[in-house]
Chains A and B, each alone.
Chain A
Amino acid sequence: MSTFIQLTVNGLANGAILALAALGFVLIFKATGVVNFAQGEFLLIGAYIVWAGVVTLGLHWVVAVLLGVAVAVVMGIVIERSVLRPMVGESAIAVIMVTIGLSAVLRSLVQGIWGTTLRRMPEIVPETSVSLLGAPFPVNRLWAIGIALVALGGFALFFRKSHYGVAMRAVADDQQAAMVMGISVRRIFAMSWALAAVSAVFGGTLVAIMIGVSIEVATFGLLVFAVVIVGGLDSIPGALLGGLIIGLTRQYVGGYIDPGLGEVIPYIVLVLVLLVKPYGLFGEVRIERV
């Protein structure tokens, strides 16, 4: 029983973080149609900036996170301007190659600046354990779940209530019609990349709290692809559900059957889902009126 609770809490924490990371990916794909293979590296950079803010600059972690958000906004806009905008109108495969290249550049940049040693994220949230139903587990997992859910809720509110959020969804729906509404599509594209990078600051920091600050953060980010394909590339609820499915199955299978299998199971789930629902669980179904 205690193993079960532990695995469940771990799985939920992983899942919530994955959902947050996947949100950034879905955002970019929905608004701009670009498959961003550098989303894992966005997590990596987010984690390192926050780490450097706290450890190197000695900032309070709240300030460090704000710094991370500011850097992310700038990075997102710069990447959109300099890397993606020249690619408008090019084939999807060319754009994918560019984001793969981007991921290599960002990864090398991080390694060039901070090296490859594993570092501990300073204690942002309490590292103590509490026991629940006889099972001890670290409090930071609960924090991770809470922070990820609050962030997801914040983004959901933004998309429903803010006119910028509505404009972003309008661009995702019909770009030319959005232009006719006076919406600046370029600005929305830049905003999507900036928001994706911001969501990665939260996601990356939470990952780093659990597994430490190293290149492994980006590797964890690879799971994002399993999440978004399971949930549907363009669905925000799909990202949430996909995150929880992948997070939980990974823990259960890894804990009860075999840790190695746990690493592979996300991709097995992925294939199974694709067999039944080729566009993912919540993938866009074109609305057809009868």
Chain B
Amino acid sequence: MTDVAGAATSAPATDVLLDVNNVEVIYDEVILVLRGLSLQARRGSLVALLGANGAGKSTTLKSIMGLLPSEDGEISEGHISFDGQEITEFDPAQIVKSGISLVMEGRRVFEHLTVHENLVAAAYTRWREGTAGDDMRLVYEYFPRLEERSNQVAGYLSGGEQQMLAMGRALMQQPKLLMLDEPSLGLAPLLVREIFDIIVRLHRDLGTTILLVEQNAHLALEIADHGYIMENGRIVLEGPARELAENPDVQEFYLGMSESGERKSYRDVKHYKRRKRWL
């Protein structure tokens, strides 16, 4: 495990698919949300980005995706490169074309479109290639339940099905890097399991690099190779997922366990958090 300062240089440059370098993000020209954030995802890895509410995890994904201008935010400093190409100034359409897909927090399916039409909309940038039919078969292979409901309006799907549709849309774009923002949000534990199993399968079968943002640190560290922990707009800790899961600080703060290995009540954790922070 490395400390922040010395992070990120160990991997050879060609092996790094996504490189976020010292990025600073400002909203409304005054609110500093990311303060010099750096993280990397190696080709073919599954990276977890963890942190408390408001740490800046979603903002990180949005800045990679080029969505900040639509929310009055901007990258005021730093660079993002993907697959050897600088993408800091790209708009979302260019970013999708270069091979990054995002599954947004809260699923964000097109409620008034059918399942099939949602997938068609997702194939927008690749329509001319004429591969939409094959891509759709692949999506239905991973999510058979979507095929059963392909002519249903997406707004009436269950939460789990909507999450599957959101992931299916991203899959339609055949991404090199798939970013998932809180895929477990608001889902029953069994469904969360199912969704995570599919994430693992996508990662393994298709070799897709995955950047996973999660509140559920337990689950995320279980499937990830590498983890980053965010607080107040910067990375405070990083390392191989297994080591992070065993780190006593991480156990205290994110896995809700005391030093003896028992789960503490949430109130104790909160109390403790108020006293001790990394920064």
Q: Which residues of A come within 8 Å of B, CB atoms? A: 163, 166-167, 169-170, 172-184, 287, 289
Among the stretches B109-117, B204-212, B259-267, the one at the interface with A is: B109-117
| In the complex with contacts A169-B113, A181-B121, A174-B108 CB distance below 8 A | yes
Cβ contact within 8 Å between B117 and A166: yes
B85-110 contacts to A (CB < 8 Å): 91-93, 95-97, 101-102, 104, 108-110
Residue in A166, A181, A287 whose CB lies within 8 Å of B111: A287
CB proximity of B106 to chain A, nearest CB, Å: 10
Would A181 and B169 be within 8 Å (CB), given that A170-B110, A289-B158 are in contact?
yes
Residues of A within 8 A of B272 (CB): none
Contacting residue for B70 out of A166, A173, A176, CB 8 A: A176
Q: DSSP majority for the A interface?
A: helix
Please state if A181 and B155 are interface contacts (CB–CB under 8 Å).
Answer: no
Interface flag for B125 (CB, 8 Å):
yes
Q: A22 to B188: give the CA distance in the assembly, Å.
A: 44
Are B117 and A182 closer than 8 Å at their CB atoms?
no
Given the complex, which residues of A lie within 8 Å of B113, measured CB to CB? Answer: 166, 169-170, 173
Partner of A182, one of B97, B104, B153, B158: B97
Give the shortest distance, in Å, between B264 (CB) and chain A (any CB).
Answer: 35
| Contact, CB under 8 Å: B67 / A179 | yes
Cα separation A169 to B111 with both chains bound (whole Å): 10
The CA of A169 and the CA of B125, in the complex, are separated in Å by: 16
Give the contacting residue for A177; candidates B97, B110, B123, B125; CB below 8 A: B110
A163 touching B111, Cβ below 8 Å:
no
Whether B93 pairs with A176 at a CB distance below 8 angstroms is no
For the complex with contacts A170-B117, A183-B124, 15 further pairs of A-B residues with Cβ separation under 8 Å are A163-B124, A173-B110, A173-B112, A176-B108, A177-B104, A177-B108, A180-B102, A181-B96, A181-B124, A181-B173, A182-B97, A182-B125, A183-B121, A287-B155, A289-B159
Report yes or no: B120 in contact with A163, Cβ–Cβ below 8 A.
Answer: yes
| B102 CB contacts on chain A under 8 angstroms | 180
**Distance, CA A167 to CA B169, complexed state (A):** 13
Q: Report the interface size class on chain B.
A: 20 to 34
- CB atoms of B92 and A179 under 8 A apart: yes
**Is there contact, CB below 8 Å, between B112 and A182?**
no
Residue of A nearest to B110 (CB): A173
Chain A residue numbers with a CB within 8 Å of B127 are: 163
Beta-carbon contact of B117 and A287 below 8 Å: no
Question: Is B92 within 8 A of A182, CB to CB?
Answer: yes
A-contact bits for B159-172, CB 8 A (1 contact / 0 none): 10000000001000
Is B244's CB within 8 Å of the partner chain A? no
A194–B123 CA distance with the chains assembled, in angstroms = 23
Contact B117 A181 (CB under 8 A): no
Choose from B95, B101, B123, B155 the contact partner of A163 (Cβ within 8 Å): B123
Q: Which of B93, B101, B109, B169 contacts A184 (CB 8 A)?
A: B93
Q: Hey, which chain B residues are within 8 Å of A173, CB to CB?
A: 110-113
B139 on the A face (CB < 8 A)? no
24 A-B contacts (beta carbon < 8 Å): A166-B120, A166-B121, A167-B121, A169-B112, A170-B117, A170-B118, A170-B121, A172-B112, A175-B70, A176-B70, A177-B109, A179-B67, A179-B92, A179-B93, A180-B102, A180-B104, A182-B93, A182-B95, A182-B122, A182-B125, A183-B93, A183-B121, A287-B156, A289-B158
Cα–Cα distance between A73 and B251 once the two chains are bound (Å):
61
* Interface assignment of B229: CB less than 8 Å from any CB of chain A: no
Q: How far is B127's CA from A174's CA once the two chains are assembled, in angstroms?
A: 20
Residues of B near A174 (CB, < 8 A) are 108, 110-111
Q: Which B residues are in CB contact (< 8 Å) with A178?
A: 110, 121
Complex Cα–Cα for A174 and B67 (A): 14
Q: Does B75 contact A (CB under 8 A)?
A: no
- Cα(A175)–Cα(B118), bound, Å: 13
Residues of B within 8 A of A177 (CB): 104, 108-110
Using CB atoms, name the residue of chain A closest to B179.
A180
- Closest chain-B Cβ to A88's Cβ sits at a distance in Å of 10
CB-based nearest A residue for B132: A163
A180 with B110, Cβ < 8 A, contacts A166-B117, A287-B156, A289-B158 known = no
B173 with A182: CB separation less than 8 A: yes
Complex Cα distance, B96 from A184, in Å, reads: 11
- For the complex formed, measure the closest distance between the CB of B62 and the CB atoms of chain A, giving whole angstroms: 9
Instruction: Give A181 Cβ to nearest chain B Cβ, in Å.
Output: 5
Whether, in the assembled complex, B65 has its beta carbon less than 8 Å from a beta carbon of chain A, the answer is yes
> Of A175, A181, A184, which contacts B122 at CB under 8 A?
A181
Of A175, A182, A287, which is within 8 A of B124 by CB?
A: A182
User: Which B-chain residue is minimally distant from A288 (CB atoms)?
Assistant: B155
The distance in angstroms between the C-alpha atoms of A170 and B81, with both chains bound, is 29
Which one of A172, A175, A182 has the greatest number of beta carbons of chain B within 10 Å? A182
Please, which residues of chain B bring their CB within 8 A of the CB of A167? 121, 124
Q: How far is the CA of A176 from the CA of B158 in the complex (A)?
A: 22
Q: Is the CB of A289 within 8 A of B156?
A: yes
Query: What's the minimum C-beta distance from A164 to chain B, rounded to whole angstroms?
Result: 9
Within 8 A of A (CB), among B118-166: 118, 120-125, 127, 153, 155-156, 158-159
- As a 0/1 sequence over residues 65 to 76 of chain B, the CB contacts with chain A under 8 angstroms (1 = contact) are 101001000000
